[in-house]
């Protein structure tokens, strides 16, 4: 272990000690951004090498999350917008995703696909469905793989699913309009039944959520880092969680209401 690695390891252990006894985010969403830039800056001619480097790094991340006590991780691997990139890049990225999902299954993680599978090639969609079925009973941390995912598409799909559901029950539009509420739509999201993300991390310096978990992120804490995804380290995750722990989550309450609520606990 070199001097730099030793210093980072000591820093990570110090961060871990700082987290002890404090609230850990139950659900962490990660926008894995910067693979293409990492490849270019590394002098690689094929950006797919950056995607592969980023994919290989996923297994370290979920291991760190499990060690920290996180229960659910949602990883944005491919957006609906990404599908419009040059076909050669998309095809290479899909092969990398397929390989990654197979390895998640082999390692025994609980895998759940999150996205519009109908937008994906049949083979890719089937691999995701098979992964979900094969790992459904696996205990421990849940890994949501967001592939062919877009927040606006998810909400549209949820409404469409809700309408179909009520149509089969004979509910009229007028009747549905009278009873429709937030929970009805939430029950038809890709993440139905899961806790909303407490913390969303985006790498590579971009400071926006770019159509990621739009509905679920209503009260999520956002953390942005300049680090490109392939260079993201355990210390970066611990720093994000430590930053999260330093925030006062109000969920729409005023400071006075929050203080009063805390006093009743």
User: Catalytic residues, which ones?
Assistant: 33, 82
d(CA 58, CA 170): 45
Neighbours of 194 (CB within 10 A): 18
- Residue 78 dihedral angles phi and psi, to the nearest 5°: -155, 120
Torsions phi, psi for 209 (to 5 deg): -100, -10
Using left for φ > 0, alpha for ψ between -120 and 50, and beta otherwise, residue 251 falls in left
Instruction: Tell me the Cα Rg of the chain.
Output: 20
73 sits in which H/E element: strand 72-79
What separation in angstroms does the CA of 124 have from each of 133, 243, 265? 15, 37, 48
172 HSE (CA, 13 A, CB side): 3
What is the C-alpha separation between 75 and 58, in angstroms, rounded? 9
Distance between start and end Cα atoms, the chain: 47
């Amino acid at each position: 272990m070199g001097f730099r690695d030793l210093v980072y390891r000591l820093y990570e252990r110090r961060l871990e000690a700082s987290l002890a006894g404090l609230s850990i985010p139950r659900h962490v969403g990660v926008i894995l951004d910067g693979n293409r830039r990492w490849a270019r800056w590394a002098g690689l001619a094929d950006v797919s090498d950056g995607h592969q480097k980023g994919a290989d790094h996923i297994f370290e991340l979920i291991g760190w999350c499990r060690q920290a006590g996180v229960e659910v991780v949602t990883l944005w691997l491919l957006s609906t917008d990404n599908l419009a990139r040059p076909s050669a890049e998309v095809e290479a990225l899909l092969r990398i995703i397929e390989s990654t999902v197979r390895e998640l299954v082999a390692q025994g993680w609980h895998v759940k696909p999150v996205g519009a599978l109908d937008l994906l090639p049949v083979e890719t969609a089937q691999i995701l469905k098979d992964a979900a079925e094969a790992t459904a009973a696996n205990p421990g941390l849940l890994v949501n793989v967001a592939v062919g995912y877009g927040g606006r598409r998810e909400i549209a799909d949820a409404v469409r699913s809700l309408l179909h559901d009520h149509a089969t029950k004979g509910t009229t539009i007028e009747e549905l309009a009278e009873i429709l509420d937030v929970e009805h739509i939430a029950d038809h999201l890709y993440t139905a039944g899961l806790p909303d993300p407490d913390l969303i991390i985006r790498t590579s310096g971009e400071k926006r959520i770019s159509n990621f978990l739009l509905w679920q992120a209503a009260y999520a804490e956002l953390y942005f880092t300049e680090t490109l995804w392939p260079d993201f380290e355990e210390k970066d995750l611990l720093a994000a969680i430590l930053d999260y722990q330093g925030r006062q989550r109000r969920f729409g309450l005023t400071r006075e209401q929050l203080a009063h609520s805390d006093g009743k606990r």
